[in-house]
A and B are shown apart, each in its own frame.
Chain A
């Protein structure tokens, strides 16, 4: 007896039941294709995986495993007699909307999800390309400033040099270098950055330069000062003493300094660091050293809590 069915079986969409085997098949095909480029045994592995999953998939389709749950009572056949559970064809769901998780919903979510994934795959490298180079490989290379004899004792020398010759003049930096004489048998230097601790303008020595004794080798220029009373910033009037301590104006800390090293009798300028203040002067000065911070950021005291993390310099 053919039971009455509200939906003509011919009109039912012939969709295969849900199956996870195609996923494995797809993975196998991808591995196979990658293997064709990379090496033959990966291709073979991919082929094996694809074949195995293809077999399982085809078996599912042909054997006709009841993959969907049959509703206990067909909801749209109130007139028909109750069906024995063993009757074959009626065991399929009668309409797609009865599914707990309808196909349209799945397609909607997968479209959004795939779109999101594709968008992310495209956006992430582009954003990284925009942001990462500003934070990676920022280290300063040591730079040769010339023989120790170029630095007279007790006088600042205005030293400018190109930090990166490939970039040219844009990488030119200025440091104020003073030879403090010998300290425990080692030559002592004060190497002060010209970046104002207020907002980064170039501080100038408050005193005349000895232009006659200007020296130039390579990209380095050395101009000794005659006698200076400290440093001053032309932008907003910050003033510093000869050790770089702030004496007046808006700066929030002392001038930054550079580490230095001496190789074969030549002075090398090293990595910059920030200084909160300097006690004493010259070779015996106590420098309160901090991690390099941007101008305008206090490195000590309560306000320094506003800048807990510094980007890699």
Chain B
């Protein structure tokens, strides 16, 4: 009886694992995902090191809610504000999704700054992670640009005049400022094209760049490994008890884990 049950369990496992194995054999994606998720990290990392993942989650929430909002929003000066009203008051759960996108924007920005602060205070921007800091700063700039372009879209008085001020702030940058301002508003004054222009930048141009940069950011995180906290005994570059293959830089770069095959 007992043996029969075991066989059944095994059979069940086989059945469940079959598609996974099928995928792994043909693409290596399962192994890749395992390598990404279950990679080795220093033993004494702490909760502050989850801020990066939290930021990524906030971005995914923004991308999803934004895509759904785009199904109801109309980027046209005459219908933008009515369409926002429609989303908030008429569409089922529209108030919720719009609220998630609106407040999630602030969460995303705040988390980016907190993540940046963690990286700074832990000294995680030092060799060999300088490039990842630079990419992170670009991501921060992109995130702020998302906030700026998204703020116009409700097309109410606050949105309109805040954007006028924002565009003219860009205009006060030396030398190229006037050209940046005129490019942003698509002419000498805010006009019918400005809203559509901001909408396209907000939901196509910058998100594309952000997704590409996040990919690069994560690639470097996986490649270079996670930093130990500054109080760690395994501090970067020192305290290696076992001489490692890459010249004692245990806290900095870890040797690639041995492939299973």
Contacts and interface: CB of A to CB of B under 8 A. Distances in A.
Interface of A: 131, 133-135, 138, 140, 163-164, 167-171, 173, 199-202, 235, 292-297, 306-311, 313
Contacts of B77: 167-170
B188 A199 contact: no
A134 B164 contact: no
A291 to B, nearest CB: 11
A295 B188 CA distance: 11
A295 B177 CA distance: 11
Contact of B177 (A138, A163, A292, A294): A294
Nearest to B193: A133
Interface of B: 77-78, 161, 164-165, 167-169, 171-172, 174-175, 177-179, 181-183, 185-195
Contacts of B177: 294, 297, 307
B182 A311 contact: yes
Nearest to B195: A170
A201 B78 CA distance: 21
Nearest to B200: A130
B243 to A, nearest CB: 42
A306 B185 CA distance: 21
A58 to B, nearest CB: 50
The 8 tightest CB contacts between A and B, nearest first, are: A294-B171, A296-B172, A306-B174, A170-B77, A200-B168, A199-B168, A167-B192, A199-B165
Nearest to B163: A200
B206 to A, nearest CB: 14
A293 B178 contact: yes
Given A170-B191, A171-B191, A294-B181, A134 B171 contact: no
Contacts, number: 83
Given A200-B164, A201-B161, A307 B174 contact: yes
A307 B178 contact: yes
A313 B171 contact: no
Nearest to B183: A134
A292 B188 CA distance: 10
Contacts of A170: 77, 190-192, 194-195
Contact of A133 (B172, B186, B189): B186
A294 B179 CA distance: 10
Given A167-B191, A307-B177, A307-B178, 14 more contacts: A134-B182, A135-B182, A168-B77, A170-B77, A170-B190, A170-B192, A171-B191, A199-B164, A199-B172, A235-B165, A292-B188, A294-B181, A306-B175, A313-B188
A202 B164 CA distance: 10
Nearest to A295: B168
25 contacts: A134-B182, A134-B185, A135-B183, A163-B189, A167-B77, A168-B77, A168-B78, A168-B192, A169-B77, A170-B195, A171-B191, A173-B189, A199-B168, A200-B164, A201-B161, A292-B188, A294-B168, A294-B177, A296-B169, A297-B171, A307-B177, A307-B178, A309-B175, A309-B178, A310-B178
A104 to B, nearest CB: 30
